[in-house]
Chain A
């Protein structure tokens, strides 16, 4: 359950981005877009729950949180397969090699913030 710590990190990151732009979080409609990689060790439902709890009193209580799940994507060094894998295990689905490079899906990212009136 490190989702609580991650929710705190995300809120701090957003507040500092908004502060840089002289935007007060409570005064605008905000939508937060995050990308959750399949191998990022983050559980979306737990994170959404944690975010709601942690956002209390931060001005981001009413913010919309949009979690986009990014499936684990690899490039196989053995057979050159490129694409998504099943169950987020970095093994090539074509030749079963583990000699793979992760090309997407191992990060937890703040992609963008949408700020309305």
Chain B
């Protein structure tokens, strides 16, 4: 019997996604956007609530909203004046670059300054999928527990900003915020962390400034 022929490939399995992300990046670059942010976090971390708080403070926001089902989140943010489009993944646990590309050209980016892509609630699967964004933003909340960074290091390594939501619940959840931040920094010392409460409004102005800084290329 002949020896098998070995074909060396050495390609990322996500190659097709990365190519599609590159095409999205071209569309974003041609649209005069100040920033494109991919929001990743568990279900219930408060991704949509954070957007609701931020939208009134930033000029013209576009939102590509990813959910397994319903357009409730897109509707919530649209009410506040953002231009939104909903992607329903029909079961898929993450957005991929092709799903995002399919919203164009119907979803116009004209006049939009900041484009947010809210991923499907999940701290694992969306991590490996580049959508063409400028920055990944990880959103976590205190009730999820102190140890998220150690358990899910990949997303904390790949993000530019960590939004630490529901800080008003620190006492109720018996969470030491400084220790939680220490854990996050131990995985990624460069990661900026912004504490917020969507309930009390704490930290929202600072968060808005952080998005502006990320958009202008500062970190």
Contact = CB atoms under 8 A, between A and B. Distances in A.
Nearest to B129: A2
Interface string B126-146: 011100000000000000000
B34 interface: no
A108 B5 contact: no
Interface in A29-47: 29, 31, 34, 39-42
B93 A9 contact: no
Nearest to A91: B186
Given A1-B125, A41-B127, A90 B12 contact: no
Interface string A52-70: 0000000000000000000
Contact of A114 (B6, B14, B154): B6
Interface string A86-116: 0011110000111100100011111111111
Contacts, number: 102
A4 to B, nearest CB: 8
Contacts of A13: 9, 11, 13, 15-16
Given A17-B9, A41-B128, A110-B13, A115 B96 contact: no
B157 interface: yes
B19 to A, nearest CB: 11
Interface residues of A, number: 38
Contacts of A115: 4-7
B189 interface: yes
Interface in B105-157: 124-125, 127-129, 150, 153-154, 157
B94 interface: yes
B2 interface: yes
A91 B153 CA distance: 10
B92 interface: yes
A97 B7 CA distance: 40
Nearest to A116: B4
Contacts of B178: none
A112 B185 CA distance: 37
Contact of A109 (B1, B10, B127): B10
Among B10, B14, B186, max chain A CB count under 10 A is at: B14
Interface of B: 1-2, 4-17, 92-94, 96, 124-125, 127-129, 150, 153-154, 157, 185-189
Interface of A: 1-2, 5-6, 9-10, 12-13, 17, 21, 29, 31, 34, 39-42, 88-91, 96-99, 102, 106-117
